Structure 1
């Protein structure tokens, strides 16, 4: 049974960009800011003290399942 909130295409893209940027993180204030905030609210991303976003463990697992189509 599917019990995870749906990720819009733009939010899946933002999730993927978080994996691509890696350790430096994504800065706040970009066009995907609303998606990054939504991902943070879902526990898939977190905002660091410097204001940049990075993936959480849950975000990494969701990316593997939904974007890469791998079992996590």
Structure 2
């Protein structure tokens, strides 16, 4: 069953921006098994792996660009 965590309890306007007031990790409300999952854990892990690969590829591209434009 999925786990649900609540850590940002309040949102308020600060000028033109909406600011969140987040609790420290020790104060988070963590509840498991409260609802049926939309996707399976296997699907979730596959997506996380794809995201990780894309993130790494993006970082490599940014590093290459920085090297090219430094010289």
TM-score (norm 2): 0.21
TM-score, L = length of structure 1: 0.21
Higher Cα Rg, which structure: 2
Greater share of strand: 2
